[in-house]
Structure 1
Amino acid sequence: MMIFLETKSVGDIKLGDLIQLRRMKGLFAHWAVYVGDGDVIHLAPPPSKMELCSVIASSSGVTTISGEEIDMWLFGSIKVRRDKLTVVAKGSAIVVNNECDSDPGMTPFPGEIIVKRAESKLGTNDYNLLTWNCEHFATWCRYGKAVCKQLPFGQGLSNVAYLVKSPGIEVIPPWTLPDDIVVKAMAFSSRLRQDLKSLDEGQPIKFTADLNEGKVYSNHTGTFTAPLDGLYRLSFSVAHRNPGKPISVYLKINDIENVGATTDKAAPGLCSQASNHAVVKMMAGDTAQVVISNHEAEDIAAAGFTSFSGFLLQNN
């Protein structure tokens, strides 16, 4: 059975959700409990030492013990601590993974209770690789039972898990996942719902989305935001009813003009339409808009003639 992972934002993470982070190129995973305000509570050394240990582990070819065990040998500083999720992630992939919710006897506590359980252990240092590691701690907080499946990162995921997008955060490359797990497709399709009498030069057209998989398009700003690093196909069209002059628009990627389109002068009682498309390489957080490029656009036609759409071709 194929497993499709959605991509959501940090704001979608709920209190008490378990966070899974990629470590040592996916050899193992680090686990933490989300406690709100962008913070996690986890069993770990300080973030600065965590990074150093990962470098030592990678350079020494260690593959039979976890990075946490190396941390313990070198520093003896592992304890339950509260840190910013983005600091703990250090650019690695972030997955919200409450995989044990469906296991028999593993009913999660309410989010507020999970947070209180995590906070009750702050400062404690009872680390043990086999009986009380980061995954044991996280599952104890959420379920009241300390469980560790000891699976490499990316394995054991289900449809309840999802990726978290955030500027600077790596999205899991498809080749690091098992063959039956893929990143869920991203796509949006939007159109102008009402005619626009005029729009100034440099202003984006604010379309309304009919399809918005991954919540990547904003009706309020007319902006598509790339959730992942990858190749995207973006298409747009514009139409107008003004017989006096044409309309020119262009696709703006971040602050850079990409491809454009210019209509003919409209015949009386008819619309004149122009369209274009582009395949572009975008990084997570990059934006795209359809922007007016001539001095003033008049009588922009809706009725399905003016639209903006796109989808992910390939995740890098």
Structure 2
Amino acid sequence: MFRVGTHIQVGRLGYTHHGIYVGRNQVVHYSGFHEFGGKGSVSITTLSEFCDGQQAQEYPRARLLKGSAFLAEEIVCRAKSRLGEDSYNVFFNNCEHFANWCTHGDSYSAQTAGTVENNVRSGNYLQLGGLTLFDFISHFKGLFK
């Protein structure tokens, strides 16, 4: 079982899904896209539903985040404060962005950040030359809001 306020993740086909464990076997997460392309919202669900048959684990990249981790109570309050929000965007406001914002105030997704940002955060300064489409898009993300 996870500690209250833990950022957890579970593997899905081609990506990882993220949420905040808020206690009592419940997880707050951005549900993302549902069947037939409908947008989901920030919602609360059981750990079992969140995992969908997979094994959840604690988020391993917390060391890459800017800022200090909030206390568990604050993390849970931050997660619950966004319940019902329906501004999901796979590139700029996905479940990983949400969970990292809840824990550290850093709206960051390693899955969608470009190569340059990921290398800077991990201290891998030798690999900064390779740009990706995400690097280009994130440079102009203000145009997509």
Q: TM-score, normalised by structure 1?
A: 0.34
Closer, same or farther: CA 149–104 of 1 in aligned 2, 3 Å:
closer
Alignment of 1:39-118 (within 5 A): 39-44=26-31, 68=33, 71=34, 74-100=36-62, 102-103=63-64, 105-118=66-79
Closer, same or farther: CA 76–104 of 1 in aligned 2, 3 Å:
closer
Q: Are the equivalent residues in 2 in contact too, given 1:44–1:80 (CA < 8 A)?
A: yes
More helix by share: 2
Aligned-residue offset at 1:105: 2.9
Q: How far apart, CA to CA, are the structure 1 residues paired with 2:24 and 2:96?
A: 22
Sequence identity of aligned pairs in percent?
31
Q: How far apart, CA to CA, are the structure 2 residues paired with 1:139 and 1:85?
A: 18
Q: Which has the larger radius of gyration?
A: 1
Q: How far apart, CA to CA, are the structure 2 residues paired with 1:21 and 1:142?
A: 17
Residue 128, structure 1, aligned to residue 89, structure 2: yes
Q: How far apart, CA to CA, are the structure 2 residues paired with 1:43 and 1:143?
A: 17
Q: Report the equivalent of 2:115.
A: none
Q: For each residue in 1:55-86, what CA deviation from the matched residue of structure 2 results, as whole angstroms up to 9, or x when unmatched?
A: xxxxxxxxxxxxx4xx38x2423100000011
Give the residue type in structure 1 aligned to 2:16: A
Q: Are the equivalent residues in 2 in contact too, given 1:18–1:96 (CA < 8 A)?
A: yes
How many equivalent pairs are there? 112
Q: Please, which runs of 5 or more residues in structure 2 have no aligned partner?
A: 113-145
Q: Are the equivalent residues in 1 in contact too, given 2:7–2:19 (CA < 8 A)?
A: yes
Give the residue type in structure 2 aligned to 1:15: V
Q: How far apart, CA to CA, are the structure 2 residues paired with 1:28 and 1:104?
A: 19
Closer, same or farther: CA 117–134 of 1 in aligned 2, 3 Å:
same
Give the residue type in structure 2 aligned to 1:144: G
Q: How far apart, CA to CA, are the structure 1 residues paired with 2:26 and 2:60?
A: 17
- Which of 145, 150, 159 is 2:111 aligned to? 150
Q: Are the equivalent residues in 2 in contact too, given 1:17–1:98 (CA < 8 A)?
A: no
State the Cα RMSD in Å: 1.8
Q: TM-score, normalised by structure 2?
A: 0.71
Secondary structure at 1:106's aligned position in 2?
Answer: coil
